[in-house]
Amino acid sequence: METFRRLLPTPAAEGLTAADVAAEVPPPPPADRPFVLLNMIATADGRATIDGRTAPIANRADYELFHALRDRVDAVMVGAETIRVEGYGPMAQLAVVVSRSVAMPTETGLLAAPGNRVVIVTPSPDAELPPCAASVSYLREADLATALRRLRAEYGVASIDCEGGPGLNATLVPAGLVDELHLVIAPKLAGGDDPLTVYGGPPHDLTLLSLHESGGYLFLRYGTGG
């Protein structure tokens, strides 16, 4: 088990576990929608992937905090492209997948795990997946604000860990639908042209809430003003 140092806020603390760090969230949700945090990782030069994947960026501490944050929420939200690239697998939380086309693999990954519960948020009035092992339902909404309100009212979701990708983040943040950004900075330089970043939207100010370190990785928690 990895340990973390809290650098901010003071007083500093050492020997913290991932569960200790994750215990800071979530606070009470807004009145009409779930509390939403973005959980992202990037290299020191701002890349969100190496060779198209996030795994080469992460370390063990990030892995432990990633899952500790999931354990604190009711649902995990992700874009369809991230599902196609990263795969995913069995998940205790409700999985919320945002997809325009509802085109995702059903033979492997998230939708192939029999115990998974998946809600697909889509503007399509009739697109559906072929039969799969996971239990799938649909929220046919083009507006994510409305979809979040329905997740709260119809599924009892009070907190969501959104794991991207950048396009989904770029829709949620400017709309004021994100409460916190949890950003891991890895001590790595990826290089290359046209880097994929964690956010593809307009400029947005953040407020630093806490800072932890483990193995040279920085774990930043920002308020977004959502």
130, pLDDT greater than 80: yes
More confident residue, 52 or 208: 208
Residue type, 104: M
What pLDDT, in 10s, does the model give residues 14-28? 999 999 999 999 989
Tell which CATH classification among 3.40.1670.10, 3.30.2130.10, 3.90.800.10, 3.40.430.10 matches the domain 32-223. 3.40.430.10
Rounded to an integer, the average pLDDT of 94-103 is 96
SS3 content of the chain, % helix, strand, coil (to 5): 20, 30, 50
Would you state the structure tokens that stand for residue 100, as one six-digit string? 């325009």
> pLDDT tens digits, residue range 43-93?
999 999 988 889 899 999 999 999 999 999 999 999 999 999 888 999 999
pLDDT at 152: 97
Which residue is associated with the tokens 């990263």?
86
Which residues, at least 6 apart from 175, have a Cβ–Cβ distance to it below 8 Å? 144, 145
Q: State the pLDDT at residue 139.
A: 98
pTM reported for the whole predicted model: 0.95
* Average pLDDT of span 150-177: 96
| 78 contacts: CB under 8 Å, gap ≥ 6 | 88, 95, 96, 97, 98, 162, 163, 164, 165, 168
Residues 6+ apart with CB under 8 A from 73: 26, 37, 93, 159, 160, 161
Give the tens place of pLDDT for each residue, 178-206. 999 999 999 999 988 877 899 989 999 99
The mean pLDDT value for 161-184 works out to: 96
User: What confidence score (pLDDT) does residue 196 get?
Assistant: 84
Look at phi and psi of residue 5 and say left if phi exceeds 0, alpha if psi is from -120 to 50, else beta. Answer: beta
Q: What angle do CA 212, 216, 220 make, to 5 degrees?
A: 30
Q: How far apart, in Å, are the Cα atoms of 21 and each of 97, 135, 193, 207, 211?
A: 26, 32, 34, 18, 10
Q: In Å, what is the CA distance from 214 to each residue of 38, 64, 161, 217, 218?
A: 20, 11, 21, 5, 7
State the residue for tokens 């604000």.
Answer: 145
Query: Do 140 and 125 contact (CB within 8 A), yes or no?
Result: yes
- What pLDDT is attached to residue 173? 97
Is 90 exceeded by the pLDDT of residue 108? yes
Q: What is the model's pLDDT at position 99?
A: 96
- For the chain, domain boundaries: 32-223
Tell me how far apart the alpha carbons of residues 201 and 185 are, in angstroms, rounded to a whole number: 19
Question: How much is the pLDDT for 53?
Answer: 86
**For position 69, what pLDDT does the model report?**
98
